[in-house]
Structure 1
Amino acid sequence: MRERLGERLPKFSDEEKKLLRNSVDFVGLNHYTTRFIAHVMRNHDRNDFYQDQQIERIVNWPEGDVIGERAASEWLYIVPWGIRKVLNYIAQKYHNPPIYVTENGMDDEDSPTSPIHEMLDDQKRVVYFKGYLAAVAQSIRDGTDVRGYFAWSLLDNFEWAQGYTKRFGLVYVDYKHGLSRHPKSSAIWFSHFLKGGERKEDKED
């Protein structure tokens, strides 16, 4: 790491090292998707972050099948088992600190021509949250100290360089009509889930 990054690495005094060691109150994990990783000397990705690590991000199994169904963003694949693996890794590597999943979710493509009832029927997101929450629960049963979970996002929002073209919200925001808000199927499912209820379709899953 020192050879690759050189002066970009921070330097800590002995006193600062003592202050930092075992000083974490909790780990906040933002997690959306999973990749396979391989070592490469030169990455075709233009991002220096991946160049420095000398890694290649792979979305296919060796047999050729994709790692999971893709959401709207090209980088976001639905891989519930990935969050269990990373939670368990943090627990094993760092002496099982308290963990909060501070962001977890997926996006739909905005479709200005689709009727609103179609935009509200976000069944893929319902399946996403069922899978990821089940994986978090499995990690807790494995012994991981997960204290909290936050879905991203309550509302559709301005999504970085993609602007309003991607919708992560449990609640649909109508940008053309006064920012009116409409709960999606995922919001209704989440409300039921948090109240401990179980709908007929949940029992059949």
Structure 2
Amino acid sequence: MREKLGNRLPKFSEEDKELLRNTMDFVGLNQYTARFIAHATDGPEEVNFYKDQQIEIIAQWEGGEMIGEKAASEWLYVVPWGIRKVLNYIAQTYNNPTIYVTENGMDDEDDSSLTLHEVLDDKLRVRYFKGYLAAVAQAIKDGVDVRGYFAWSLLDNFEWAQGYTKRFGMVYVDYKNGLTRHPKSSAYWFSKFLKGGENKAGKEN
């Protein structure tokens, strides 16, 4: 790593290292999707940190099947088993620290051709949260110290590079009509889930 990155890597004194050792209060994990990774010395990725890692990011199984259902963003696939694997990896690698899942969710395309009823009926997001929460629960059963989970997000919002073209919210925000808010199917499912109505919430109407 030092040979490849040179002076871009920070330097720590022995005093710095002692100050930092075992000092984290918790790990905050933002996790949305998962991919397969292969070694690639001359990969297609433009971003420096991918080139530095010498990796190829793969969204398909060896047989050609996609790794999961596709969300709106080109990078986002629904892969619930990925979060269980990364939670277990953190626990095994870093002496089982306290973990909070600080972001987890998926987006829909902002499509003005759809009716309000159609945009509120977000069945894929319901499947996403059911799968990912089940995977987090399994990681806890594996012994991982997960203390909290934050869904991304409550409301549709402005996304960094994509503006208002992608909608991550469980509540639809009508940008053209006074920012009125309409709960989606996922909001009702999440409410039932939090109240303990898991069996009822499991039915998709």
TM superposition score normalised by structure 2:
0.97
User: Is 1:37 aligned to residue 72 of structure 2?
Assistant: no
Matched residue, 2:22: 22
Could you say which residue in structure 1 is the equivalent of 2:122? 122
Q: Does residue 73 in structure 1 map to residue 73 in structure 2? A: yes
Percent sequence identity over matched residues?
75
User: Which residue does 1:138 correspond to in 2?
Assistant: 138
| Cα distance in 1, alignment partners of residues 20 and 110 from structure 2 | 44
Distance in 2 between residues matched to 1:201 and 1:30, nearest whole Å: 25
* Alpha-carbon distance between aligned partners in 2 of 1:27 and 1:16, rounded to the nearest angstrom: 20
Counterpart-to-counterpart distance in 2, 1:189 and 1:95: 35
CA distance in 2, matches of 1:143, 1:103: 21
Distance in 1 between residues matched to 2:157 and 2:201, nearest whole Å: 29
- SS across alignment from 1:154: coil
- Report the CA distance between 1:198 and its aligned residue: 3.5
Cα deviation digits, residues 136-187 of structure 1 (max 9, x gap): 0000000000000000000000111111110000100000000010100000
Structure 1 stretch displaced more, 167-176 or 194-203: 194-203
| Residue 191 of structure 2 corresponds to residue 191 of structure 1 | yes
Residues 1-205 of structure 1: pairs in structure 2 closer than 5 A: 1-200=1-200, 202=202
What runs of 5+ residues in structure 2 fail to find an aligned partner? none
Distance 1:188 1:33 in 2: 23
Secondary structure, aligned partner of 1:86: helix
Aligned residues: 204
Residue 45 of structure 2 aligns to a residue in which SS?
Answer: coil
Amino acid across the alignment from 2:74: E
Which runs of at least 4 in structure 1 moved beyond 3 Å after TM superposition? Answer: 198-201
- Using the size of structure 1 for normalisation, the TM-score is 0.97
